Structure 1
């Protein structure tokens, strides 16, 4: 994914696409920050799954910012955030449908042998490991919770 980001940056610089250029640079900075934090903790640099998690987090942050801007009458800033979301989404695999998420959550609950809500963390960790960047884990959390009741 790092190579894909580098190629995208080169391409956006050639095309003078300032929005895409700035967004890709933000992504690369977030990855570098995580790499530095991992180095300090004695861990390996971020792999592709870690990058997908970073991208998913960036999207969530921008969705929240856009919502706040909308509520406070700043539609131009909300539009800016949504444009960044579009660019970031281009690097993530397609999101799974709601029905597919329900099915995968049920599989994970069965596979982990979860018995109740206290096993929710085990189920969520398994989902994050198996499907990084492919689903909204906040929504998946609600599905898992319903299955474990």
Structure 2
């Protein structure tokens, strides 16, 4: 069985939240662990750190979308709850990359894949994604690559 440090970190954080009687944090961590458990049961695998990270990214993305919808409906109370959950989930994510670091990774990937046209977009994204997983917004990276390839 694969040893998953991120899953263990979530479990320890859940225990700490229980001891501190921090219900909001505890609930969010339990949701994250439930997602991990769902993958374990459905796919009969022990998810590695990369998979757990992608699950956390997905949960954060869902909450950002919910915030947008709640704010449009004037429900700031619900939006604040979702933001609090995002804040908890962010504590388990790796440190974000700076704009300069992302630009350097994109530049290197474009050089490595010899990307010149929009047809090379997939190759560049495939080269960039493993390096920035969980540390940068993939939508923003996609836009940057598109603009560089269309200007080339």
TM over 0.5: yes
Q: How many residue pairs get matched?
A: 145
Task: Report how far residue 87 of structure 1 moved.
Answer: 0.2
2:53 aligned residue = 52
Structure 2 stretches of 5 or more lacking a match?
1-5
Per the TM alignment, residue 92 of structure 1 is displaced from its structure 2 partner at its CA by 0.4
Deviates more, 1:14-23 or 1:91-100: 91-100
Secondary structure at the aligned position of 2:25 is classed as helix
Shift of 1:25: 0.8
TM-score for both structures, normalised by structure 1: 0.90
Q: Distance in 1 between matches of 2:100 and 2:131?
A: 17
How big is each residue's C-alpha offset from its partner over 1:57-82, in whole Å with a ceiling of 9 and x where there is no partner?
A: 11111111011101101000000000
1:20 to 25, 48, 52: 25
Report the CA distance between 1:136 and its aligned residue.
Answer: 0.4
Query: Which moved further from structure 2: 115-124 or 15-24?
Result: 115-124
* 1:43-122 map, 5 Å: 44-122=45-123
Task: Tell me what 1:147 maps to.
Answer: 148
CA distance in structure 2 between the partners assigned to 1:51 and 1:37 by the alignment:
14
Q: Aligned-pair RMSD on alpha carbons?
A: 1.4
Give, in whole Å, the separation in 2 of the partners of 1:36 and 1:118.
Answer: 38
- The verdict on how the C-alpha distance between 1:20 and 1:67 changes in structure 2, with shifts beyond 3 A counting, is same
Q: Which runs of 5+ in 1 are unaligned?
A: none
8 Å Cα contact 1:8-1:24 kept in structure 2: yes
Q: Which whole-Å CA distance do the structure 1 matches of 2:124 and 2:46 have between them?
A: 25
Q: Which residue of 1 aligns with 2:8?
A: 3
CA contact (8 A) 1:106 1:147 kept: no
Cα 1:140–1:83 change in 2 (3 A) is same
